Chains A and B, each alone.
Chain A
Amino acid sequence: MIWHIFKKDFRLRWPYGLAVATAQFAIVAVHLKLGVFERQRIFSAVLLVLEIMMDMGVAVLIATIVHEDSIVGMRQDWLVRPIRRRDLIAAKLLFLLLAVQVPMLLAALIGGLANGFALWLSLSAALSQNAYFLIGFTLPIFAFASLTRSTSEALGVAFMIGVGSIMGLNVLILPLTGSPLGPTSNTGLAWIPLTFRFAIYFVASLAILVLQYLRRATRASWLVLAASVAICLFSALIPWKVVFGLQKAIAPASVAAQSIAIRFDPAAGQLQSATPAFSVRNPVISGGDQRNEMNEDTILHLPLVFTGIPAGSILKVDRTVARLTGPSTTREQIVSAMGDPGDFEVPNDDPRTSEPPPVDEILHVRGSVYTRLKDAPVTLQLDYSVTLLNLSSTHSIPAVNGDLSIDGLGHCETRLNDSRTDVDLICLDIGNTSQCTTALLQDPATGLHNPPLHDCRDDYAPYFGRYQPPDTLVLRGVDFDFRDPSGLIHYPVNESTVNGAHVLIKNYSVAGHFTMHLTVPTIRLAEWSAQWQTRSTVDNGVR
């Protein structure tokens, strides 16, 4: 009878299902039309609208299909018919698979193939996207809809849960962790709590569907929903240490990590203005701590020296937890109990030196703490969670009108921008992409190059075909300046040599995760602080 019930639903809702499926293929078509440089901006807006429409459309389609034979209520005709309830749930699931999941799989697969990606890559990315959507969207919406009588009721309750969750994140989680999504948000470890939440979605959805369809136990189902929302909310509180420990356990152990050391090096010099020095050494700063930008924190600059980093490798600091011990031996914590996002990298990729140059680590100290302790001798304890990235491949592509497929970056193209001040490098990839990439504009004749640009994708998820919603396709780009219109900066590769220049691209992959500890025995904060300021971020054009 599953097929029989499915046919009834199909007869009633096929136009809607067709519209949703068409929207999915339309997204693929617009992607193709866009090309890598998104020249026709109008299509970007169309794409965004289509994606929002598709998600909304899928949600409403699921709700309407469920409400065709609503579980909640006492007036539905199907309740008095000899219809096996497991047939009913199977028919609904079949409809959702055929009307939502299969078109999505096909659209993603066709999109990958049409963009020139191999069948296996396209299929794995499409399957990842499909599994992600099924567990993270289709099944939860299916289960949620089964708790309500009508689509309007479902939308109303969903709105209330959404508002409640946002309030919960901001009122409960934000004060405790410094971020509404917890300490792992915007880090490579975010996939662990996300995977945990997906497991909750999956288990809760199955539990609700079984309770609703096989027992019509709506009250118990609401309790399951409430419990799962609460668990997901509080999953943001999973401590960083636990998550990083898990990441360490599942990642390959790195022998090289044992030789890496860190020390505080006062000889590297005090700085009174962080931005220039920091920006030269770490030209890409993204996803800064917005909270600190708003508060009047004092910024400390700690000159650090890292040794033992293998040549050609990058040490990525994922997080720093810093503690100050004042003269009264009372422990003070900097910024938050959960630590500061490290978000800086120490590359050892200069062939002229064996060790990387000193790094100024920026720490944010609350104004009140700083005022109290700035002239007192204090001890600083720093715990680092770090990731070692090894060079995995090097590629070269002409700086102008280059076109090359690169493992880990996908299909890459270069061009001069309209004002002829920089070279744009855009790569379109699918599924797994390189963890970190360093790129620079180089003159092959002289070997001279402009400052390197560096970009890391914060995602250490081990599962194959990683998928960043909403599309399976990942577009990454970098702009290389070679001419300063104001004439203040002169680049080694400039307008006279850019046509013969190449973009040198280095890809890095994760070699291991480990922790490091540093104790700075006695310092005075005032000696290492910049002026009171609102932190500014540097945008050098990396997208």
Chain B
Amino acid sequence: MICIEDLWKRYRGHDPVRGISFSVPEGSTYALIGANGAGKTTTLKILMNILEPTSGSATVLGTDSRRISRRELNRIGYVSENQQMPERLTIEEYFNYLRPFYMRWDRQLESSLRTQLRLPATRRIGELSHGMRMKMALACALPFRPDILILDEPFSGLDPLVCDEVREGVLGQAGETTLLMSTHELGEVESIATHVAFLEEGKLLFDEPMEQLHKRFRAVRIAFDHAAHMPQEPFPDWFELAADGNTLQFIDSRFAEQLSRERLNARFHGIRSIEAEPVPLRTIFTTLARAVRNAV
């Protein structure tokens, strides 16, 4: 559905996107995560042909992003945290305006979304709060049943109730739509993302299915018979090592149940027990982000 290859963007003397490559499978919910300024929004804007890439390629629905036309835009929904809609139009007027542009606008779906998201028909867009605007943008992106829904920071700055409404709106009505969302609200996407890609300073650090990611990241806690010491030469896939009393803790980014235990037993003596716990996405994100920054 979406394929990005060696994508670069140079903008005002710096490179917000530096040679990233990934692809979004059909039907997936793909989370593009990264800190502010990591290049997530730039990547999504290139996909929508709002920005032109400096080099490399981005294809959406089989079409080069630079050639995206009405036909593709009829199949792509886009929601951004700072989307500028006509402030002086009312919600009703804006829906009336958008409807004729789409080949397959489902008025029933529109109606159900507007009810679900509690959008007041007569309110001007300029008078809406940030949360209401996000809901409005979402409600405008779904009724034509897009094949791809691109969400740029959809949960940013929203209170928990609105977050839930947006998430339910997306999941409840998106159906078979392929979702690509950029976010740093990791808690919000953890339960819905099937794939995740991690961008840091314009570079892609990894791109893999969520299940696989959760499998390989583990918070490892080793209890020793004696006082624990920091290893002289830790493995490069260990992060955030800490020794405290008899225990050594770290995040293992290449954890494999049997193999890892054998490797630890070979490396350390006096191991009393090894515990390996799954790591939340947020911890994975912060661990990797810190590691990259420390390396720089």
Contacts and interface: CB of A to CB of B under 8 A. Distances in A.
A80 interface: yes
B80 A82 contact: no
Contacts of A1: 100-101
A81 B50 contact: no
A12 interface: yes
A76 interface: yes
Given A75-B84, A81-B73, A82-B73, A11 B93 contact: yes
A79 interface: yes
A12 B86 contact: yes
A68 interface: yes
Contacts of A8: 86, 89, 93, 97
Contacts of B51: 74
Contacts of B76: 80
B74 to A, nearest CB: 5
Contacts of A11: 89, 93
Interface string A80-94: 111110000000000
Interface string B108-142: 00000000000000000000000000000100100
Q: Which of A76, A80, A83 has the most CB of B within 10 A?
A: A80
Contacts of A12: 86, 88-89
Contacts of B291: none
Interface in A1-41: 1, 4, 8, 11-12
B48 A79 contact: yes
Nearest to B96: A8
Interface string B222-257: 000000000000000000000000000000000000
A77 interface: yes
Interface residues of A, number: 17
B83 interface: yes
A82 B78 CA distance: 12
A75 B87 CA distance: 13
Nearest to A81: B101
Nearest to B99: A4
Of A4, A12, A79, most buried by chain B (CB within 10 Å of CB) is A79
A75 B86 contact: no
Contacts of B45: 74
B266 interface: no
A73 B51 CA distance: 10
Contacts of A83: 70, 101
A62 B88 CA distance: 17
B43 to A, nearest CB: 13
Nearest to B98: A81
A94 to B, nearest CB: 16
B84 A76 contact: yes
A77 B140 CA distance: 10
B286 interface: no
A68 B97 contact: no
B48 A80 contact: yes
B82 interface: yes
Nearest to A75: B84
B171 interface: no
B191 to A, nearest CB: 27
Contacts of B140: 77
Nearest to B51: A74
A64 to B, nearest CB: 10
Instruction: Pick from B83, B84, B85, B89 the residue with the most CB of A within 10 Å.
Output: B84
Contacts of B85: 77
A17 to B, nearest CB: 14
Contacts of B97: 4, 8
A77 B83 contact: yes
Nearest to B48: A80
A81 B70 CA distance: 8
A80 B102 contact: no
A98 B71 CA distance: 31
Nearest to B125: A77
Contacts of A73: 84
Interface of A: 1, 4, 8, 11-12, 68, 73-77, 79-84
18 contacts: A1-B101, A8-B89, A12-B88, A75-B82, A75-B83, A75-B84, A77-B83, A77-B140, A79-B49, A80-B48, A80-B73, A80-B78, A81-B98, A82-B74, A82-B101, A82-B102, A83-B101, A84-B70
Interface of B: 45, 48-51, 70-71, 73-74, 76, 78, 80, 82-86, 88-89, 93, 97-98, 100-102, 137, 140
Given A8-B97, A68-B86, A75-B83, 7 more contacts: A4-B100, A11-B93, A12-B86, A75-B84, A77-B85, A79-B50, A80-B76
